[in-house]
């Protein structure tokens, strides 16, 4: 771990530390929200260790707290984490060889770890960025979850301190840059509209899954016939 840390440049190390601080706050909000929703203290702790996927964990707790069943919670988490399939193809080289090493590396696969790895061109720094970021976030996320569980049992409603808004705010901050793309923006707007329209009529969790229909709005519009003919003539 120390050698990998030294392999990274100063700017990358600083960015990882900054991200870890923010991730710890979000982990604390997850722990507080989970216990305030009526879950036993050990449930969010075990989820953070075994699942280690903030979006899926928040989704599962939100679905159960809203009265949804475990099947909807699991399906929502699987759909949300389906993006890890192309992630694995993109960073498969950093996981190394050996079943145990690859299993641990796969468990540490997050949006953040993939982003840090992809930003490095040198293979050694690429591997170091992935593993350092993943291990640091794993520790910080789980410590944050435990602290959140303890705080949540004391303050009761996390909305009193605004902890319930921590994850949506962080998620919105991550999504905001992508909304500059017209296709992504169309998909997000249509998906949100579908989820809002379906919420009064469907069990919790299903409107989120239906929001995936918004992806059809992201399809690129076909070129006008004149432009198509011009390209073909070339």
**pLDDT per position as a tens digit, 141-175:** 999 999 999 987 776 565 566 555 655 665 576 56
Quote the CA–CA distance of 195 and 206 in Å, as a whole number.
8
pLDDT of residue 3: 83
pLDDT of residue 173: 65
Q: How confident is the model at residue 227 (pLDDT cuts 50, 70, 90)?
A: very low
Give the closest residue to 29 by CA, choosing from 146, 154, 112: 146
Over 90: is that where the pLDDT of 139 sits? yes
pLDDT of residue 230: 42
More confident position, 35 or 82: 35
Quote the CA–CA distance of 106 and 111 in Å, as a whole number.
12
Over 60: is that where the pLDDT of 234 sits? no
Joined together, the tokens standing for residue 199 give: 């919420």
Q: Using an 8 Å Cβ cutoff, are 193 and 213 in contact?
A: no
Of 23-32, 65-74, 108-117, 152-161, the range with the lowest mean pLDDT is: 152-161
Joined together, the tokens standing for residue 180 give: 């500059």
pLDDT of residue 203: 67
| 217 three-state secondary structure | helix
The rounded mean pLDDT for the chain is 81
Domain boundaries, the chain: 2-176, 181-234
What phi, psi does 117 have (nearest 5°)? -65, -45
Query: Mean pLDDT over residues 38-60, rounded?
Result: 90
Query: What's the full length of the chain, in residues?
Result: 234
Terminal Cα distance for the chain, rounded = 55
Over 80: is that where the pLDDT of 11 sits? yes
Q: Which helix (H) or strand (E) holds 22?
A: helix 10-36
pLDDT in tens, 65-76: 777 778 878 887
Of 23-37, 103-117, 192-206, the range with the lowest mean pLDDT is: 192-206
More confident position, 155 or 22: 22
pLDDT of residue 181: 79
């Amino acid at each position: 771990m120390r050698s990998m840390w030294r392999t990274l440049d100063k700017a990358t190390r600083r960015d990882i530390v900054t991200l870890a601080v923010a991730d710890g706050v979000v982990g604390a909000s997850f722990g507080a929200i989970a216990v305030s929703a009526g879950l036993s203290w050990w449930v969010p702790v075990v989820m953070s260790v075994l699942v280690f996927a903030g979006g899926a964990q928040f989704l599962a707790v939100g679905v159960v707290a809203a009265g949804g069943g475990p099947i909807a919670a699991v399906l929502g988490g699987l759909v949300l984490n389906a993006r890890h399939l192309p992630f694995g193809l993109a960073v498969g080289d950093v996981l190394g060889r050996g079943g145990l090493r690859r299993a641990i590396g796969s468990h540490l696969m997050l949006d953040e770890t993939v982003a840090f790895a992809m930003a490095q061109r040198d293979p050694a720094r690429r591997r170091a960025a992935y593993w350092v970021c993943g291990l640091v976030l794993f520790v910080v996320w789980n410590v944050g979850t435990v602290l959140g569980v303890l705080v949540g049992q004391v303050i009761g409603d996390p909305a009193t301190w605004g902890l319930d808004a921590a994850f949506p705010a962080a998620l919105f901050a991550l999504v905001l840059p992508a909304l500059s793309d017209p296709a992504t923006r169309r998909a997000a707007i249509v998906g949100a509209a579908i989820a809002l329209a379906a919420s009064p009529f469907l069990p919790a969790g299903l409107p989120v899954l239906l929001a995936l229909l918004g992806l059809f709005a992201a399809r690129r519009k076909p070129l006008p016939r004149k432009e198509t003919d011009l390209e073909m003539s070339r």
